Amino acid sequence: MWIAEGVDTVLGQRLDQLGIEPRDVDGLTGVVAAPFLHAGFGHLLANSAGLLVLGLLLAVTTRSFWLICALITVLGGLAVWVLGPAGTLHIGASGLVYGIAAYLVARGVRTRRVLDVVIAGIVVLTYSGLALGVLPGQPGVSWQSHLFGALAGVAVAWFGATPARRPRRLDR
């Protein structure tokens, strides 16, 4: 992402046009490209901080890190492409940040494993302010990417995480 932003800066932010443009066939490339494109280094730094912390929590607790990230990116990005407002451009990794946060919380609820529940609690306590980012209101911020990234994270956790086994009942 940092290399992409460096190249984008040298090119006068022209790579940003490769973001998600809802319901435009050319905008489909943005589903994969958007997380690597940012509106400047400040935007990238903000997303990098969340990705670093949440990504580490995810990476140390699963062997499916890349698959989970890819699924969140594609599902969230496709939802933005289908349901986002026409004529807008969506860039940045915040959909993935919201998706990983939501995944970690939903996985804790779904599996009920002690470690997953503890991580879910840490995410809720530390990142509860993210909840406001899924609401419209701040110009220039893709709340759609935040919302659909979070929903994708919940879906991936719910359908991909294995629930904890219930203890067997002893018959005597």
Give the span between the Cα atoms of 12 and 74, in whole angstroms.
27
The mean pLDDT of the chain is 91
Q: Where residue 170 falls among pLDDT bands split at 50, 70, 90?
A: low
Q: Where residue 135 falls among pLDDT bands split at 50, 70, 90?
A: confident
Q: Where do the domains of the chain lie, and which CATH numbers do they carry? A: 2-160 (1.20.1540.10)
pLDDT at 172: 65
Q: Which residues pair with 90 in a beta bridge?
A: 20
Which stretches does DSSP call E strand in the chain?
Answer: none
pLDDT at 9: 93
pLDDT at 125: 92
Per-residue pLDDT of 39-90, as tens digits, reads 999 999 999 999 999 999 999 999 999 999 999 999 999 999 999 999 999 9
**pLDDT at 132 > cutoff 80:** no
Measure the CA dihedral 92/77/138/107, to 10°: -90
Give the span between the Cα atoms of 21 and 105, in whole angstroms.
29
